[in-house]
Each structure stands twice: as C-alpha cells, then as structure tokens.
Amino acid sequence: AQSVTQPDIHITVSEGASLELRCNYSYGATPYLFWYVQSPGQGLQLLLKYFSGDTLVQGIKGFEAEFKRSQSSFNLRKPSVHWSDAAEYFCAVGAPSNAGKSTFGDGTTLTVKP
C-alpha cells in the first residue's frame, strides 16, 4: 500500500530565510510525486511534480523538490521565503496513470514571521 508521511505538522520561518519541508513516501513501483499548496479558503494548487528524469524538479513560485530514491524522500525547498508563502503544503504519491487516486500526506502548515 502506498503512504506519505509529512513529519512536520507546523513550521515557522522568518521572511527571507530558507525553507525545507519534508516528505517521505512508501510506494511499490516508480512513484509519481507531487507537492500541492493550499491557501486559506482555497483549493489545492500544484507546485511541482516528479515522475522520471532529473531528480531535482523546479516548480512554480520559486519552489523546487529533490527526489531521493534511496531515502524514499521528496523534500520541498525554497531559498528565500516570502510572507505570501504562508499556507498549508501537501505531498502526495500515486500512479502516473491516475493522479486522482494519489495518497496525500497530512500536510505541513507554514507560518512566515516578518
């Protein structure tokens, strides 16, 4: 069975500081990995995705994620956080043929201090 663990429920960083959100997954085959962001009162928006190829993936809003098969991880990073990045972030894993049946992590809430 597939599963996703986001170890950090809540992270607080200062504006301008770097950010890393952790994601560990369990999946029997080649995983299809996503990061989504959810602003208050909104639906989830795709930040980036990985299926194959370069293990460092660039996304929107200056985010990137690195796939590490040996560690079963897909951590999300941003070099310099902006106040507008405050939101909830979800990692998900699934089959390439059916993104809708992905398994989502429980989310990490990011607070940005001025």
Partner 1 sequence: NAGVTQTPKFQVLKTGQSMTLQCAQDMNHNSMYWYRQDPGMGLRLIYYSASEGTTDKGEVPNGYNVSRLNKREFSLRLESAAPSQTSVYFCASTGDRVNSPLHFGNGTRLTVT
| Residue 28 touches partner 1, criterion: CB under 8 A | no
Q: How many residues bind to partner 1 according to rule CB under 8 A?
A: 25
Q: Which of residues 52-81 bind partner 1 (CB under 8 A)?
A: none
Nearer to partner 1, 48 or 81 (CB): 48
In our burial notation (b when 16+ CB lie closer than 10 A, e otherwise), range 2-33 reads bebebeeeebebeeeeebebbbbbebeeebbb
Question: 45, 55, 58, 111: which one contacts partner 1 (CB under 8 A)?
Answer: 45
Sign of the CA dihedral with 38 first, then 43, 49, and 51 last = positive
Which among 20-28, 60-68, 75-83, 90-98 is the span making contact with partner 1, rule CB under 8 A?
Answer: 90-98
Query: Which stretches of the chain bind partner 1, using CB under 8 A?
Result: 4, 9, 32, 34, 36, 41-46, 49, 51, 90, 96-102, 104-107
